[in-house]
Structure 1
């Protein structure tokens, strides 16, 4: 495996190795286009800003730590897991515990609502279908109010997944861009 020089300094937004400017690693020369071009959406995604930030972060971590690439990748993964995934997983656990604690209250309120709807249905003369409709509508409203009261909507429990997927894609494409080693028209960054 190739290894970048250890003397890294940052000037502006581009990294410099050994005193000379570094060309950004790219897979396709020229400007990427979202569709209809030879690279298409995949190349457009591989050249996006978050992927380049991931590349820069990996290069900076490798250069700062002076580790071989395989160790820098492992350290980067551990850093992302502890800085991003661990707090989100703790938040998800607290949220799921709140949802679980709401279940007995929801069950009790559902039984009470069922009784009230059946009494009201007999007074007004609702059919079984109309009574079921009113029960479901009011139960949804009650559950939504409980979620708002306890600030624990179930969709918030999916936040971890919605953060991990883009993070995984960006880091994977950054590793791909670094490993392919294709260059811009600016020249070889490893000279």
Structure 2
């Protein structure tokens, strides 16, 4: 909205300048006509871009998934009898348990299957090498023809293994297809509740907005205003950074260049979310912190070998046997509390 007002102010200013130029430039109309045309075109393009942004946001705010999410949040608050801050936390844990937790477990299963079929490839590659050498001699192929057939055979065998175990690599990002829409719809739904959207004139919207003003906790009694103490924004940034570092420290293989770039991007986004969270109502901050906390707890829980077997995730060679002990040692090592992890030291028999 501020973009529209700014564009309108600029168009008004352009109109004032236009008439000023007309009065003062009767002697040179062509020059100022071109200036007026350029200024008017600039103002029109700015207004159009601002209108497009606001139009997209309004469409999202009035969309059916957001309406269902608003209704679900209201129902959870009304039937639970909890204050709004607790209802937001409860709904976050409920939705993530129903949507993202099963997808995360499925993603881990796919990753484990891919790792298992990768162990079968060395033997297949050796057999294909022998077959390619025999075919080269039998059919008098050139080196280039042999390499083409060899590579096609490897690709086909890999695809056969993927089909056999139903573990296409694209499924390893399936969590994003559930988590990102859920995060967007719930964030927009909470914003609608705070600002009495899409219809501020309804009694229901006014009652919910009033309840949100007294539905906070501790230092944030009013969920419709920003957290001036910055406790929630900073907590959000720390939790998101903890998730990134947890995934980094529990990786058993050396990270690739692409993985390092991705980790740095996620670190940057975690830090960037802090100033963003400082500008939104506290209701959104409560949701974001609750969602990130669930994600951190989920990642920690799925490190456990016992839990992984319980949910059907196959055991792999890269799985940590004592994940929590090794994670704690890496944290100490990163904090320079230990010069060398005890696991790396040789055991001396007495």
Q: 1:37 to 1:61 in 2, by over 3 A?
A: same
Say if 1:183 and 1:56 are closer, same or farther in 2 by CA, change over 3 A: same
**TM-score relative to the length of structure 2:** 0.41
Deviation for aligned residue 1:38:
6.9
| In 2, Cα distance between equivalents of 1:64 and 1:55 | 14
Task: Report the equivalent of 1:49.
Answer: 64
Distance 1:141 1:118, change over 3 A: same
Counterparts of 2:159 and 2:192 in 1: how far apart (Å)? 45
Gaps in structure 1 of 5+ consecutive residues:
1-34
Question: In 2 relative to 1, CA 111–75 (structure 1 residues): closer, same or farther, beyond 3 Å?
Answer: same
Shift of 1:181: 2.1
- 2:198, 2:173 → 1: CA distance? 38
Equivalent residue, structure 1, for 2:181: 166
The one of 117, 136, 157 equivalent to 1:121 is 136
CA distance in 2 between partners of 1:183 and 1:51 (Å): 10
Q: Which residue of 2 aligns with 1:11?
A: none
Matching residue of 1:72: 87
- Higher relative contact order by CA 8 Å / sep ≥ 6: 1 or 2? 1
Displacement of 1:119 in angstroms is 2.7
Aligned-partner SS, 2:183 = helix
Cα pair distance change 1:183/1:150, threshold 3 Å: closer
For residues 69 and 156 of structure 2, the distance between their equivalents in structure 1, rounded to whole angstroms, comes to: 43
Aligned to 2:150: 135
What is aligned with 1:146? 161
Shift of 1:121: 2.6
State the Cα deviation string for residues 110-144 of structure 1 (Å, max 9, x = none): 22112212332343343333322222212111111
Secondary structure of 2:199 counterpart: coil
SS at match of 1:67: coil
Q: Which has the larger radius of gyration?
A: 2
Q: Which residue of 2 aligns with 1:176?
A: 191
Give runs of ≥4 in structure 1 deviating > 4 Å: 35-38
Alignment correspondent of 1:17: none
CA distance in 1, matches of 2:53, 2:154: 53
How many Å apart are 1:187 and its aligned residue? 3.3
Partner of residue 108 from structure 2, selected from 93, 100, 115 = 93
CA shift in 2, pair 1:87/1:37, >3 Å: closer
**SS of equivalent residue, structure 2 residue 202:** coil
Name the one with the larger strand percent: 1
Q: In structure 2, which of residues 96, 99, 120 is the aligned counterpart of residue 81 of structure 1? A: 96
C-alpha deviation, 1:183, in angstroms: 4.9
Relative to 1, partners in 2 of residues 1:42 and 1:105: Cα closer, same or farther, differing over 3 Å? same
Number of the residue aligned with 2:307 = none
Unpaired segments ≥5 residues, structure 2: 1-49, 208-350
- Which structure shows the higher helix fraction? 2
Per-residue deviation, 1:36: 6.3
Counterpart secondary structure, 2:103: helix
Query: For residue 313 of structure 2, what is the aligned residue in structure 1?
Result: none
